Amino acid sequence: MKEKIVLASPHMGGNEEKYVKEAFESNWIAPLGPQVDKFEEDIARYSGKKYAAALSSGTAAIHLALITLGVKKGDKVFCSDLTFAASCNPIVYQGATPIFIDSERESFNMSPIALEKAFKEHKPKAVIVVHLYGQSADMDKIKEICHREGVPIIEDAAESLGATYKDKMSGTIGRLGVYSFNGNKIITTSGGGVLISDEEDIIKKARFLATQAREPQRYYEHKELGFNYRLSNISAAIGRGQLEILEKRVAQKKHIYDTYKEGFKDIKEISMNPVCDYGSPNYWLSVMVIDKTSSITPLDVILALEEENIESRHVWKPMHMQPFFKEYPFYSSEEGDMSVGEDIFKRGLCLPSDTKMSEEDIQRVIKTIKKLWR
């Protein structure tokens, strides 16, 4: 069996162990502690936002974002359709109705055209914009629409930490931003997330709710529903070390993407996920798209790679196609039966984008795929 090439995995930089050691030596092992405080400061400084709440996951961050914006049972929330279920599950947690917005072909992200269609028929309490595979959505167009309608934006930047949109950090353009530090993200805390904002009251409220909504009394008192959503001090220590090497990881991810693009340039039926000129992605995952005229399918490629012990994956299956969410409203960016997101799902796959891959590993992936076109 050949050595396995994985899709994306944790990649330590060196200082993570130093910060974890600090936590051990100070005996701050239980949740919260100095590392959490410093990690929040580091994230706020890096992103350019004033405040950050370190949480147990990106999902928790989206959930608290919805709560702090007052989303409750019976409300509606618009959400990108081409995404992972974690983007919209918290809408249902709150008893609200998710309404799914199709992608545009230019970026794979939320389509302003589809967003306009949805606003003609619904008034949501919030709009969740997902920055897919590390590239920012076209936020100026989306923000213009949402501002006109008086609706706040939550940026699900779980996949796009380190990316920019017109010189602004991804996740900092909406009222609230969310990052994820899951094990497969560009940097990791082993599992975790963060909520960022320029509004101190929102972040204070999120921290309060994330620590079981415990009132500041000598005894345990709770006046509202709380959650166990805070990031641990040990995880935050890992995150501090990871954040220091984020720019290096972005450069490595870009190199992987560029190598794939160069490797497949002679095969007309293969294209890579688009890179928009309004910003710079973090290239979290490199996505290969097969032309609809080809007899080769994403599954053919996935199985061929599996034969060589190489991991790959279909792109996200759009939410409106998921059995659990199929009853909720969906707005396409195009006319007819096929949505853009569904088309990308049917023709795309995520290639190995692990920053620990060697040049030989990347070429092994390319050669395996190119054999299918011989």
Asked if the structure places residue 202 within a domain, the reply is: yes
From 244, 276, 301, give the residue that closes a domain. Answer: 244
Q: Are 178 and 58 in contact (CB under 8 A)?
A: yes
Q: What is the CATH number of the domain that holds 121?
A: 3.40.640.10
- CB under 8 Å to 295, separation ≥6 — which residues? none
Q: Do residue 288 and residue 206 come from a single domain? A: no
Q: Do residue 139 and residue 112 come from a single domain? A: yes
Asked if the structure places residue 11 within a domain, the reply is: no
Count: domains in the chain:
2
Q: Do residue 157 and residue 37 come from a single domain? A: yes
From 244, 268, 294, give the residue that closes a domain. Answer: 244
Q: What is the CATH number of the domain that holds 277?
A: 3.90.1150.10
Q: Do residue 293 and residue 360 come from a single domain? A: yes
Q: Characterise 202 by phi-psi region: left (phi > 0), alpha (psi -120 to 50), beta (else).
A: alpha
Q: Do residue 80 and residue 225 come from a single domain? A: yes
Q: Do residue 264 and residue 236 come from a single domain? A: no
Asked if the structure places residue 270 within a domain, the reply is: yes
Q: Are 368 and 305 in contact (CB under 8 A)?
A: yes
Asked if the structure places residue 8 within a domain, the reply is: no
Q: Do residue 121 and residue 26 come from a single domain? A: yes
Q: How far apart are CA 26 and CA 197, in angstroms?
A: 30
Q: Do residue 73 and residue 123 come from a single domain? A: yes
Domain range for 46 is 16-244
Residue 185 known to be catalytic: yes
Q: Do residue 337 and residue 235 come from a single domain? A: no
Asked if the structure places residue 179 within a domain, the reply is: yes
SS3 371: helix
From the list 185, 248, 268, 317, the catalytic residue is: 185
Asked if the structure places residue 147 within a domain, the reply is: yes
In sign, the C-alpha dihedral spanning 163, 278, 142, 117 is negative
Sequential pLDDT tens for the chain (374 residues): 799 999 999 999 999 999 999 999 999 887 789 999 999 999 999 999 999 999 999 999 999 999 999 999 999 999 999 999 999 999 999 999 999 999 999 999 999 999 999 999 999 999 999 999 999 999 999 999 999 999 999 999 999 999 999 999 999 999 999 999 999 999 999 999 999 999 999 999 999 999 999 999 999 999 999 999 999 999 999 999 999 999 999 999 999 999 999 999 999 999 999 999 999 999 999 999 999 999 999 999 999 999 999 999 999 999 999 999 999 999 999 887 679 999 999 999 999 999 999 999 999 999 999 999 98
Q: Do residue 76 and residue 224 come from a single domain? A: yes
